[in-house]
């Protein structure tokens, strides 16, 4: 077994059931790998954390639950699907121990279907973040977001991030984030993601979305772009993170996406495992 891989999640108790599915899929497809899971939260109770710790220990995952003060980002805009915890990933340089040099951040609405080690070992080329762009068929949203957020690069999705924590400690400043929130608060559609793009897109390395942040809503678009390449066999062999962006979520009875069945399969396997 090689070195442990650091993972980061930032969420409230509502997403714990889906975090467990994500971690179970991670284990099933990375059987020889041990992980350190850093969970940033504001008020998940100790009983739920104990239950989570007992489960993930069986998945070769060591849980480090870090309770964050409610004062951090207390005035930041939030919406129903995006609680205050979403901002914590941006502050990971301030919140993680000094011995943590690199971390992979993952949203909980993800399935892991291949090895994550190639992302962990990626050369960031001096950047703070690596992230994917959900370009769609025409990438028409790029121009809109460039104007809206005063950026020149593509709009990065923050659901999967490789973060150079050492560089983040030098470059990502809480006061810069607070100033951006104060200045653009009314215009932030996906609040922390918008902040990340506005402040740090210039230190973000683009990685292929088809591998590292596959938007399950856009499977037809991926197939259209490369009819002979991005078929289901290619996805099974190459894609690492299936990201169930938007609504309905795969655990919802209203979900009928191409990959919803796969999610339910892992959910059922987890129930048997527990």
SS3 category, 68: coil
In the chain, % of residues over pLDDT 90: 67
Q: What angle do CA 23, 169, 61 make, to 5 degrees?
A: 20
Q: Are 216 and 257 in contact (CB under 8 A)?
A: yes
From CA 61, how far away is CA 23, in angstroms rounded?
A: 8
Neighbours of 138 (CB within 10 A): 8
pTM: 0.92
From CA 11, how far away is CA 267, in angstroms rounded?
A: 19
Longest dimension (CA), the chain: 51
- What does the pLDDT look like over 209-257, one tens digit per residue? 999 999 998 888 888 877 677 789 999 999 999 999 988 899 998 877 7
Handedness of CA 62, 11, 162, 76 (dihedral sign): negative
Give 250's Cβ-side CA count (13 Å radius): 28
- Whether 94 has a pLDDT exceeding 80, the answer reads yes
Check whether the bond before 248 is cis (ω within 30° of 0): yes
Q: Are 155 and 133 in contact (CB under 8 A)?
A: yes
- Mean pLDDT over 27-53 rounds to 97
Give me the pLDDT at residue 110, please.
Answer: 98
From CA 133, how far away is CA 153, in angstroms rounded?
A: 10
Give me the pLDDT at residue 150, please.
Answer: 61
Neighbour-count burial of 137, counting CB atoms closer than 10 A to its CB (0-12 exposed, 13-18 middle, 19+ buried): exposed
H/E element holding 40? strand 35-41
122: left (phi over 0), alpha (psi -120 to 50) or beta: beta
- What does the pLDDT look like over 122-168, one tens digit per residue? 999 999 999 999 876 445 455 555 555 566 577 899 999 999 999 99
The torsion of the CA quartet 162, 11, 256, 274, rounded to 10 degrees, works out to 100
Structural domains of the chain ordered from first start: 5-273 (3.90.550.10)
Q: What is the 3-state composition of the chain as percent helix, strand, coil, each rounded to the nearest 5?
A: 45, 20, 35
């Amino acid at each position: 077994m090689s070195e442990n891989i650091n993972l980061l999640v930032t969420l409230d108790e509502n997403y714990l059931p889906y975090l467990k599915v994500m971690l179970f899929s991670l284990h099933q497809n990375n059987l020889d790998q041990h992980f350190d899971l850093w969970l940033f939260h504001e008020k998940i109770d100790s009983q739920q954390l104990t239950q989570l710790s007992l489960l993930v220990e069986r998945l070769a995952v060591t849980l480090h639950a870090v309770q964050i003060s409610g004062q951090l980002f207390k005035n930041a805009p939030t919406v129903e699907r995006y609680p205050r915890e979403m901002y914590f990933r941006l502050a990971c340089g301030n919140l993680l121990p000094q011995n943590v040099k690199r971390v992979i951040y993952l949203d909980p609405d993800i399935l892991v279907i291949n090895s994550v080690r190639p992302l962990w070992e990626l050369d960031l080329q001096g950047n703070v973040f690596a992230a994917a762009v959900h370009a769609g068929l025409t990438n028409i949203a790029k121009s809109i977001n460039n104007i809206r957020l005063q950026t020149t690069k593509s709009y990065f999705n923050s659901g999967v991030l490789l973060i150079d924590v050492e560089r983040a400690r030098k470059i990502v400043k809480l006061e810069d984030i607070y100033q951006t929130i104060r200045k653009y608060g009314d215009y932030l559609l996906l609040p922390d993601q918008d902040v990340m793009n506005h402040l740090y897109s210039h230190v973000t390395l683009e990685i292929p979305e088809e591998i590292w942040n596959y938007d399950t809503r856009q499977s037809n678009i991926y197939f259209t772009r490369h009819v002979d390449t991005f078929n289901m066999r290619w996805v099974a062999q190459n894609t690492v993170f299936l990201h169930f962006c938007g609504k309905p979520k795969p655990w919802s009875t209203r979900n009928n996406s191409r990959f919803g069945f796969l999610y339910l399969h892992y959910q059922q396997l987890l129930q048997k495992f527990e």
